Amino acid sequence: MGATVNPAEIFGQNVFNDTVMKERLPKKIYQELKKTIENGAELSPVVAEVVANAMKDWAVEKGATHYSHWFQPMTGITAEKQDAFISAPRPDGKTILEFSGKELIKGEPDASSFPSGGLRATFEARGYTAWDCTSPAFIREDAAGATLCIPTAFCSYTGEALDKKTPLLRSMEALNTQALRILRLFGNTTSKKVTPSVGPEQEYFLVDREKYMKRKDLIFTGRTLFGAMPPKGQELEDHYFGAIRERVGSFMKDVNEELWKLGVSAKTQHNEVAPAQHELAPIYANANIAVDHNQLIMETLKKVAERHGMMCLLHEKPFEGVNGSGKHNNWSIVTDDGINLLDPGVTPHENVQFLLVLVCILKAVDRHADLLRESAADVGNDHRLGANEAPPAIVSVFLGEQLEDVLLQLISTGEATRSIQGGTLRTGVATLPDFVKDATDRNRTSPMAFTGNKFEFRMVGSQDSVAEPNVVMNAIVAEAFSEAADVLEQAADFDMAVHDLIKEYAAEHYRIVFNGNGYSQEWVEEAKRRGLPNIRSMVDAIPALVTDKAVKLYETFGIYTRSELESRAEISYEAYAKAINIEARTMIDMASKHIIPAVVRAVQKLAESMNAVSSACPEADVSVQRELLMETSAYLAETKRALSRLIQKTDQAAAVEEAEQRARTYHDLVVPEMDALRAPVDKLEMIVDKSMWPMPSYGDLIFEV
Ligand code: ADP
Ligand code: MG
């Protein structure tokens, strides 16, 4: 057991943060850089040169030998190209350590191996990384040594976004502009900047590394493709729990320390519903940093797990029949002077502003439910959303009783002039009762829940980047703010106009509010009556990216161009087809090389046993062996038939040329055959002698970490 460290001492020690910049940069340069970070002013080459040099000195003192432009291509994980700090040898045969402003600002990785969805023609493979100075550089330490990582955006030669960060930054700008218009309407003249705050809660599983290495499905696909549920009740045995705690506890301690050094404020950790499942939540940060930090959290969880002889599974559904993992994206809008626009506040005046913000969000979510659903679509999440698990694939908003009541009053009473303490208040809206932060019970089944001063979007997949969901939230709310501001800025009587607008939006978009049980079949039917989309799979979700509605939204606010959206749709189809292809081929490999041969041996053993018993004692009852033999042989035959069909359908899908059609073929033809192959194999696992089964079972994996 290592000694306990003081988080305050190590926090941010590997980050080129404000303190370090202040210490190491000449005052003028520091001020120039701050201007760029805070207001987006252009950075001069001179400033870049000085900053690069200071960064290098700081990094080298911390043992870094390399730097890398760290970026987030469309793969959903991070990528980088490392360069050493050394310069060309000098005449005396020595080298000096160099890092220029140019190298800091711009990189040119070989972009041809990253998905571009046709944006970058093959003859123009160039892509550029550009320094994002709003997310601090950091030093990553691992077996390869220490590397200075510079967060960057990644775009094509012609400026199209090839990554997840660029659109996120664009969406934050749009939200800032439109939210400021709303604030000004309410007389706020002091706030200068509005930023989305994000706190993503990360769920994950831990399994023993040695057992993991015996399962090709985990190695190649991150999830189990076969596996029968262990008998119920094992999870209650204290024996297992005791063992888990020790190992997982020391893992968590290490994870926290690594993250604190990187300036990631890992705050809460706890065991989740499923055995071997855990959760880590950071303190919220501005959306751009939160997205970067979530990537660091995922990387750190994986890296540290291996150090402790375990593997961290970030897949949305590593085990069938056991709860899957997701990411809860907590989102709010905060000004530079500390006002949270989603805080209901205590005074009626603030309530009016809050109510307008709230109904704008309802409008945004209702209108673009399909985009939110798409932002949470990844291959693994198909096993959660719309399957038998939380949250449902239907987007709806949970407000809690109190807020729902406020909205209903608004909608039904129209020109409400309820009096408070004897006086009649003017706006009607302001006469509504003050409401305190929602104290009603939490609704765990809602995909989008208002939780006091933030919205919690619970659909996101556990291994997915949270960039996209936040791009969508920022963009759709910016649009709603913009439309509201267009009306209110022209109004002769602001109080009346804002009252009417709140009422109008509330009435029109109330259908998106649902406080009941989101898992129930009744909700599926009710949602259908309300006309809410129920998009059950990733391939059905992707088209939302390129509707006229989406293109108009994103082009209006300069977040994506039509061709960027088309490329993202293309990349998503590709990703889906590739992932299912790998899963199917892994199943084929496991079934033909491991499972079927093992079962053949088991059948042979049964037959031999029957023969041996009968010849030793002809009167002996061998009906059990016979029954087992019959049952096993029948499942074996079914397995072989299903395997042949899966091979055939996978080949058929792989041969489809066009990306969308190929993805659909995998979805419609291959996925059902995967299920059909799994069924008899899982039955066989339950009847075949455990010592003959070719891989660790669910029980081994989940309960014996
Ligand atoms: P829960 O009850 O859902 O666990 P917590 O208060 O623990 O709620 O917060 C969960 C996550 O939400 C944390 O990552 C936290 O930092 C984040 N969070 C809290 N307040 C906000 C906010 N105003 N905006 C964005 N995220 C927030
Ligand atoms: Mg939560």
Question: pLDDT tens digits, residue range 51-64?
Answer: 999 999 999 999 99
For residues 668 and 257, give the distance between their C-alpha atoms in angstroms, rounded to a whole number. 45
Q: Using a 6 Å cutoff on CB, does residue 198 contact ligand 1?
A: yes
CA 479 to ligand 2 center in whole angstroms: 26
Q: Residue 25 in 3-state DSSP?
A: coil
Residue nearest to atom 2 of ligand 1 (CA): 451
How far apart CA 351 and CA 358 sit, in angstroms, is: 10
Instruction: Give the contacts of 214 (CB within 8 A, at least 6 positions apart).
Output: 695, 696
The CA radius of gyration of the chain, in Å to the nearest whole number, is 28
Question: Lowest-confidence range among 81-85, 533-537, 549-553, 613-617?
Answer: 81-85
Provide DSSP, 180-193.
HHHHHHTT--S---
Q: Which atom of ligand 1 is nearest to the CA of 340?
A: 23
Percent residues over pLDDT 70 in the chain: 90
Residue nearest ligand 1's atom 17 by CA: 199
Distance from residue 526's CA to the centre of ligand 2 (Å): 26
pLDDT > 90 in the chain, percent: 71
pLDDT of 340 strictly over 80 = yes
User: Does 122 have pLDDT greater than 70?
Assistant: no
State the Cα–Cα distance between residues 209 and 564, nearest whole angstrom. Answer: 40
Copy the structure tokens of residue 474: 């920022």
Is 311 strand, coil or helix?
A: strand
Confidence band, pLDDT 50/70/90 cuts, at residue 333: very high
Cβ–Cβ < 8 Å for 187, 489: no
Residue 156 CB partners (closer than 8 Å, separation 6+): 111, 116, 119, 120, 124, 126, 127, 128, 162
Establish whether residue 284 lines the binding site of ligand 1, counting it when its CB lies within 6 angstroms of any ligand atom.
yes
Q: What are the two backbone dihedrals, phi and then psi, of residue 269, each rounded to the nearest 5 degrees? A: -145, 135
Say what the pLDDT of residue 240 is: 52
Is 60 exceeded by the pLDDT of residue 349? no
Determine phi and psi for 392, rounding to 5 degrees: -70, 165
pLDDT score of 474:
98
Is 632 close to ligand 1, i.e. is its CB under 6 Å away?
no
Q: Give which of 478, 644, 659 is closest to 559, Cα–Cα.
A: 478
> What does the pLDDT look like over 653-662, one tens digit per residue?
999 999 999 9
In 3-state terms, what secondary structure has residue 335? strand
Residue 125 pLDDT > 80: no
> Which ligand 1 atom sits closest to the C-alpha of 283?
16
Instruction: Point out the least confidently predicted range of 292-306, 513-527, 559-573, 667-681.
Output: 513-527
Ligand index nearest the alpha carbon of residue 281: 1
Q: What is the pLDDT of residue 659?
A: 95
**294 touches ligand 1 (CB under 6 Å):** no
Mean pLDDT confidence for 225-247: 66
Does the Cβ of 332 fall within 6 Å of ligand 1? yes
3-state secondary structure of 280: strand
Let me know if 449 is exposed, middle or buried by CB neighbors in 10 A (0-12, 13-18, 19+).
buried
Query: What is the chain's mean pLDDT, rounded?
Result: 89
Q: What is the pLDDT of residue 279?
A: 92
pLDDT category at 244 given cuts 50, 70, 90 is: low
- The predicted pLDDT at position 415 comes to 44
* Distance from Cα 462 to the centre of ligand 1, integer Å: 17
Where does the pLDDT of residue 120 fall: very low under 50, low under 70, confident under 90, or very high at 90 and above? low
Sign of the Cα torsion 20, 24, 30, 36 reads negative
**Which region among 397-411, 438-452, 581-595 has the lowest average model confidence (pLDDT)?**
438-452
Contacts of 171 (CB under 8 A, 6+ apart): 470, 471, 474, 475, 478, 557, 559
Mean pLDDT of 203-220: 96
Please give the pLDDT value at position 641: 98
> Residue 691: helix, strand or coil by DSSP?
helix
According to DSSP, the residues that pair with 82 across neighbouring strands are 68
Q: How far apart are CA 517 and CA 642, in angstroms?
A: 37
SS3 content of the chain, % helix, strand, coil (to 5): 50, 15, 30
What burial letters (b/e) apply to 317-334, b meaning 16+ CB within 10 Å? Answer: bbbbebbbbbbbbbbbbb
**Is the predicted pLDDT of residue 409 greater than 50, yes or no?**
yes
Give the mean model confidence (pLDDT) for residues 330-340.
96
Q: Is any ligand 1 atom within 6 A of the Cβ of residue 287? A: no
pLDDT score of 109: 79
Q: Is 362 left (phi over 0), alpha (psi -120 to 50) or beta?
A: alpha
DSSP designation for 112: G
Confidence of residue 76 (pLDDT cuts 50, 70, 90): confident
The verdict on the CB of residue 340 being under 6 Å from ligand 1 is yes
- Residue 436 has a CB neighbour count (10 Å cut-off) of 11
pLDDT at 323: 87
Q: Is the pLDDT of residue 399 over 50?
A: yes
Determine contact, residues 305/218, Cβ cutoff 8 Å: no
Mutate to test the pocket of ligand 1, among 327, 329, 330 (most ligand atoms within 8 A of CB): 330
Burial of 529: CB neighbours in 10 Å, binned 0-12, 13-18, 19+: exposed
Q: Residue 322: pLDDT band by 50, 70, 90 thresholds? A: confident
Q: Which of 603, 445, 608 is nearest to 521 (CA)?
A: 445
Q: How far apart are CA 298 and CA 585, in angstroms?
A: 27
Q: What is the mean pLDDT of residues 690-701?
A: 94
Cβ of 454 less than 6 Å from ligand 1: yes
The closest of 295, 310, 308 to 262, measured between CA atoms, is 295
Q: Which residues pair with 247 in a beta bridge?
A: none
Cis amide bond preceding 694, omega within 30: no
Kindly report the protein residue whose alpha carbon is nearest to atom 11 of ligand 1. Answer: 199
| Residue 683 parent element (H or E) | helix 671-687
Q: Annotate 476-513 with three-state secondary structure.
A: HHHHHHHHHHHHHCCCCCHHHHHHHHHHHHHHHHHHHE
* Per-position b or e across 188-207, b if 16+ CB within 10 A of its CB: eeebeebbbbbbbbbbbbbb
- State the pLDDT at residue 233: 41
* 622 pLDDT above the threshold of 80: yes
Q: Is the pLDDT of residue 213 over 90?
A: yes
Task: Summarize the confidence of residues 222-232 as an average pLDDT.
Answer: 87
If you measure from the C-alpha of residue 397 to the centroid of ligand 2, how many angstroms do you get, rounded to a whole number? Answer: 15
Report CA-CA distances (Å) from 11 to 1, 17, 189, 251, 285.
21, 11, 35, 18, 15
C-alpha distances in Å from residue 636, one per residue of 179, 625, 681, 688: 63, 16, 8, 11
**Proximal ligand: closest to the CA of 340:** 1
In angstroms, what CA-CA distances link 613 with 52, 604, 610, 617, 621? 81, 14, 5, 6, 9
Q: 78-82, 338-342, 538-542, 575-579: which has the minimum mean pLDDT?
A: 78-82
Flag whether pLDDT at 440 surpasses 60.
no
User: How much distance in Å is there from the Cα of 419 to the middle of ligand 2?
Assistant: 37
Q: Which of 34-48, 320-334, 526-540 has the lowest mean pLDDT?
A: 34-48
**Contact partners, residue 418, CB within 8 Å, separation at least 6:** 431, 432, 433
Query: Distance between alpha carbon 183 and the CA centroid of its chain, in Å?
Result: 30
Give the mean model confidence (pLDDT) for residues 109-121.
73
Residue 474 Cβ inside 6 Å of ligand 1? The answer reads no
Query: Which pair of structure tokens corresponds to residue 369?
Result: 């439910």
Q: What is the structure's pLDDT at 94? A: 84
Residue 43 is given by DSSP the state P
Q: Which of 562, 569, 587 is nearest to 117 (CA)?
A: 569
* Residue 677, both tokens: 């192959």
Question: Distance between CA 40 and CA 42 in Å, rounded?
Answer: 6
Question: 284 alpha carbon to ligand 1 midpoint, in Å?
Answer: 7
* Distance in Å, CA 328 to ligand 2 centroid: 6
Establish whether residue 329 lines the binding site of ligand 1, counting it when its CB lies within 6 angstroms of any ligand atom. no
Q: Is the CB of 330 under 6 A from ligand 1?
A: yes
What pLDDT is recorded for position 703?
A: 77
Please tell me the least confidently modeled range out of 80-94, 667-681, 690-704. 80-94
Q: Are strands 266-271 and 277-282 parallel, antiparallel or unpaired?
A: antiparallel
The H or E element spanning position 420 is strand 419-420
Beta strands 79-84 and 106-107: pairing type? unpaired
For residue 269, the ligand closest to its alpha carbon is 1
For the CA of 284, the closest atom of ligand 1 is 16
CB atoms within 10 A of CB 441: 8
Q: With a 6 A CB cut-off, is 132 part of the ligand 1 pocket?
A: no
Residues 6 or more apart in contact with residue 563 via CB below 8 angstroms: 119, 160
Ligand that lies nearest to the alpha carbon of residue 330, given by its number in the listed order: 1
